Amino acid sequence: MNILFENSDTYLLNVFLAYFCFSIYFKFLEKETSKFTSTLVITLVCGVFTIFCMSFPITIFKGNLIDFRQVPLIVGALYGGRKVALILTGILLGYRLYLGIPNFHIAFLLYSSICVLLFLVIPFFRKIECLKRKLLTAASTSVVSALITSIAVPLLSPAVFTLDYLMFIVSVVILQTVGVLFFVLVNEKAKKNKILSNEIKKLEKLKTVSTIAASISHEVRNPLTVTKGFLQMLREPNLSDKDKKFYINTALEALEKAESTITDYLTFAKPSLGNIEILDLHRQLISLKNFIEPYAAMNNVVIEMKLEEDVYIAGEKEKVHQCLINILKNGIEAMPQGGKLKISLNRLGNEATVTISDTGIGMNKEQLERLGTPFFTTKDIGTGLGTMVVYSVVKSMGGNITIDSKPDKGTRFSVILPVAQYSDL
């Protein structure tokens, strides 16, 4: 057993190399790739690992070396197939010949036997679906292959077949088998996680579609129902002109609400900009302030502005307005008891920052993390679509959004956009 402890550093190095090489392959499993690419990657990973193992062997006796080259050979063959097994065997024997290790003809016969063993095991291994049976098959293959090469040393030199060497063979068989089992287990878990991840993505897409369908049905059907009801009431023969005017205005308001909802959905679904022009942010914000001020006054909200001049951006005017109005409305509605809404505009380098802050109810950390996700809203009545539109439009303009908020302290919404020179017009 002294041999085992004397070479513990080499054991640890081999384990590290194994983990490093196979971690690359396991990371690669997360991506969607073709069968050829997957085979190529596992061949390269196992081939490099084989060379590493043979470059740092464990010296047993004079002229006799043992390493863990069979771990990548077995794992690569089981998951790569017969072609990979043949290539890895060729790499192993070719590098052994390059190192000038004697008795090449014996090694050729031994690893040819192991290759034949793998050829027989691979089809059976690939048909197995039970994890326990796969582990048992891999363990049996590892034990047999380890015994083939380990017993060959005392056959070539019977004098070295001692109790100490026998104990070392047992240790090598155990450690090699544990290594093979570990990588088979991790590989199977990685494949299972990949399948589960794909299923979860499909379910999330279906859930999103169903939620969107339900939301559209609810948000559009309600105003259409109102419109239908008032249009039916217009059939009454004895209606006064005042009632007719009221019914028509109410029906039109409901249609405008439905139209606004559909516009939000279209903006979110297709955020790309069309009619791009150079916009003066200073002028646009003043215009938006005048537009939103009556709504703010109804909610006892005072608007304060501090705007830097000559700040230009490139964008689609209507979508920029829609984006900023959504933020302004959210800020006003976050102050049910009234408050102060501050709007500022600053330029720093090649970025323009529009900051909108309120003194409203604020949000906690969990709400901030979910903000901008489909159909999340902090309002009693709402779909969360407005905030999604904000994120979608800003992203399409190459901008960024930062939000700072504390419960009962208010929220600060910063929209950062790339500036444009007025001369670009």
**Are 283 and 375 part of one and the same domain?**
yes
Count, in order, helices (H) and strands (E) of the chain.
13, 9
In a domain, 255, yes or no: no
For residue range 346-396, what is the model confidence (pLDDT) as tens digits?
988 888 999 999 988 888 887 777 776 655 565 555 555 667 778 878 888
Domain coverage including residue 97: 2-201
- Dihedral pair phi/psi, residue 376, rounded to 5°: -100, 130
- Nearby residues of 417 by Cβ (< 8 Å), 6 or more positions away: 313, 315, 351, 352, 353, 354, 394, 397, 398, 399
In a domain, 208, yes or no: no
d(CA 42, CA 76): 6
- Opening angle at CA 221, ends 217 and 223, nearest 5: 140
d(CA 308, CA 157): 89
**Partners of 416 in the β-ladder:** 353, 400
C-beta neighbour count of 375 within 10 angstroms? 14
Q: What is the pLDDT along the chain (425 residues), one digit of tens a residue?
A: 455 555 566 666 766 776 777 677 766 665 666 778 878 888 888 888 888 888 877 665 544 556 778 888 888 888 888 999 999 999 989 988 888 877 788 888 888 888 999 999 999 988 888 888 989 998 999 888 888 877 766 665 554 556 666 776 777 788 788 888 888 888 888 788 878 887 887 777 777 666 666 666 666 777 788 788 888 888 888 878 888 888 888 888 888 877 766 766 666 666 555 677 888 889 999 988 888 888 888 889 899 999 888 888 888 887 888 788 888 888 888 888 888 999 999 988 888 999 999 988 888 887 777 776 655 565 555 555 667 778 878 888 888 888 888 888 888 989 999 988 654 44
Identify the domain boundary among 201, 221, 252.
201
DSSP string, 130-167: -HHHHHHHHHHHHHHHHHHHHHHHHHH-GGG--HHHHH
Q: Where are the alpha helices (DSSP H) in 234-316?
A: 241-269, 281-298
**Are 153 and 282 part of one and the same domain?**
no
- Dihedral pair phi/psi, residue 345, rounded to 5°: -135, 125
**Are 19 and 159 part of one and the same domain?**
yes
Closest CA to 95 of 81, 111, 116: 111
DSSP string, 59-120: EEETTEEE-STHHHHHHHHHHH-HHHHHHHHHHHHHHHHHHT-S-HHHHHHHHHHHHHHHHH
In a domain, 216, yes or no: no
**Are 188 and 319 part of one and the same domain?**
no
For residue range 251-275, what is the model confidence (pLDDT) as tens digits?
888 888 777 667 666 666 665 556 7
**Partners of 83 in the β-ladder:** none
pTM score above 0.85: no
Based on its alpha-carbon atoms, the radius of gyration of the chain, rounded to whole angstroms, reads 35
d(CA 110, CA 99): 18
- Dihedral pair phi/psi, residue 309, rounded to 5°: -90, 165
Q: 51: exposed, middle or buried (C-beta count within 10 Å: 0-12, 13-18, 19+)? A: middle
In a domain, 207, yes or no: no
For residues 282 and 310, the answer to whether their CB atoms sit within 8 Å is yes
**Are 195 and 305 part of one and the same domain?**
no
Identify the domain boundary among 161, 176, 201.
201
**Are 386 and 291 part of one and the same domain?**
yes
d(CA 45, CA 26): 10
C-beta neighbour count of 170 within 10 angstroms? 14
**Are 80 and 177 part of one and the same domain?**
yes
**Are 145 and 33 part of one and the same domain?**
yes
d(CA 324, CA 340): 17
d(CA 333, CA 153): 82
In a domain, 270, yes or no: no
In a domain, 79, yes or no: yes
Domain count, the chain: 2
d(CA 70, CA 93): 12
For residues 41 and 35, the answer to whether their CB atoms sit within 8 Å is no
CATH of the domain at 398: 3.30.565.10
**Are 166 and 305 part of one and the same domain?**
no
- Nearby residues of 199 by Cβ (< 8 Å), 6 or more positions away: none
**Are 197 and 290 part of one and the same domain?**
no
Identify the domain boundary among 141, 166, 201.
201
Cα dihedral sign, 59-61-63-69: negative
CATH of the domain at 134: 1.10.1760
For residues 413 and 357, the answer to whether their CB atoms sit within 8 Å is yes
In a domain, 242, yes or no: no
Compute the half-sphere exposure of residue 296: CA atoms within 13 Å on the CB side of its CA: 22
C-beta neighbour count of 333 within 10 angstroms? 18
In a domain, 248, yes or no: no
**Are 7 and 135 part of one and the same domain?**
yes
**Are 307 and 401 part of one and the same domain?**
yes
**Nearest 10 degrees: Cα torsion 264, 267, 270, 276:** 170
For residues 78 and 122, the answer to whether their CB atoms sit within 8 Å is yes
First and final C-alpha spacing in the chain: 82
